[in-house]
Structures are given as C-alpha cells and as structure tokens.
C-alpha cells in the first residue's frame, strides 16, 4: 500500500498521509479497548489511551503499526535508559509473549493497562513521572560561594 502511495505523493505529503492512516488505525483500536468490558473499571481510560497512542506513534519509526527492535532502541535511548540488544529482545518477548519480534499497538496497550509489570511498562511509567516533576529552572544557575559548596 505504501508503494502505491509513494507513486502519487512524495516527501511530506506521503508522510502526512501515512501518519493520518496510522492515527485512524490506532484510534480504531482505542475504540475497541473503550468498548471492551474487561477495561470498563479502568479510570481515565480515554485519556490513558490517547497518551498511549501519542507515545506509540512517536516511536513507530516505519509507520507500519509495529515497534521493532530499532524503534525500541531509539525509545530506550531517548528515555535515557539504553539497553543491550539482548535486553531489548527480552523486552519484546515479554510484551508479546514470545509470539512476535515486534510490538503491535494492541500488545503495547495490553501491557500498559495490564497487571503484569513488564520492564518496558516500568520505563514508560518512569518517564511519565519524570516529566511531571515540575518545571526545570531556566537561565544560568545562581552564583554560589565556596562556603555553600558541599
């Protein structure tokens, strides 16, 4: 399908269409989760799903709807917790149950909403808490004298 898209459109237009198609596909999956009785007791589910969709789209490098090993590597490095190749393969296996080499959006949402504490879930939650920890000071640091140093 992307081959046909690239024949008609180039550059930013083709990328925008791929992103829009991916966003519609993920929104459809989000609607399935909203209708699922298993998650009916989950509080703030629409907001959580919107945040998961945004985060997933950020790290789905090839816009295929799957996070592969290289996308996961980029995610971990951006979050400040680089992992080895074997650690990332183990993370993918833990999320997918060993069925696939890529993390689908459904697997990602199931992991984030599930009770199991996958390593990737812990890292993503840590990133969310780190971003909530208040604004960072701007400008140069205040001047200090020798007596105030530890």
What is the distance between the alpha carbons of residues 30 and 53, in angstroms, rounded to a whole number?
8
**Residue-level pLDDT at 2:** 44
Q: What is the largest CA-CA distance in the chain?
A: 68
Query: Mapped to the 3 state alphabet, what secondary structure does 36-104 carry?
Result: CHHHCCCCCHHHHHHHHHHHHHHHCCCCCCEECHHHHHHHHHHCCCCCCHHHHHHHHHHHHCCCCCCEE
pLDDT beyond 80 at 128: no
Which has the higher per-residue pLDDT, 23 or 149? 23
Task: Name the least confident of 8-12, 64-68, 111-115, 144-148.
Answer: 8-12
Task: Please state the rounded mean pLDDT for residues 89-103.
Answer: 84
Which two three-digit tokens encode residue 4? 């046909």
Long-range contacts of 34-37 (CB under 8 A, 24+ apart): none
Mean pLDDT of 71-81: 81
The pLDDT > 70 percentage for the chain reads: 77
Which pLDDT score, from 0 to 100, does residue 7 have?
56
Walk me through the domains of the chain, giving residue ranges and CATH numbers: 13-127 (1.10.238.10)
- Check residue 6 and give its pLDDT: 45
Predicted TM-score (pTM) of the model is: 0.64
Kindly tell me the sign of the dihedral angle through the C-alpha atoms of 23, 131, 120, 109: negative
11-53 pLDDT, tens digit per residue, is 677 777 877 888 888 889 888 888 888 877 778 888 888 888 8
What's the confidence (pLDDT) of residue 131?
Answer: 54
């Amino acid at each position: 399908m992307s081959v046909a898209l690239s024949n008609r459109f180039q550059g930013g237009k083709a990328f925008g269409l791929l992103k829009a198609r991916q966003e519609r596909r993920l929104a459809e999956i989000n609607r399935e989760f909203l209708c699922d009785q298993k998650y009916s007791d989950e509080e703030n589910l629409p907001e959580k799903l919107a945040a998961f969709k945004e985060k997933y789209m950020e790290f789905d490098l090839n816009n295929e709807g799957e996070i592969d090993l290289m996308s996961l590597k980029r995610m971990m490095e951006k979050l400040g917790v680089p992992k080895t190749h074997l650690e990332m393969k183990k993370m993918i296996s833990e999320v997918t149950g060993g069925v696939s080499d890529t993390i689908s959006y459904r697997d990602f949402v199931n992991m984030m909403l599930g009770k199991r504490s996958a390593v990737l879930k812990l890292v993503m939650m840590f990133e969310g808490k780190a971003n909530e920890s208040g604004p960072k000071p701007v400008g140069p640091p205040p001047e200090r004298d020798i007596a105030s140093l530890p």
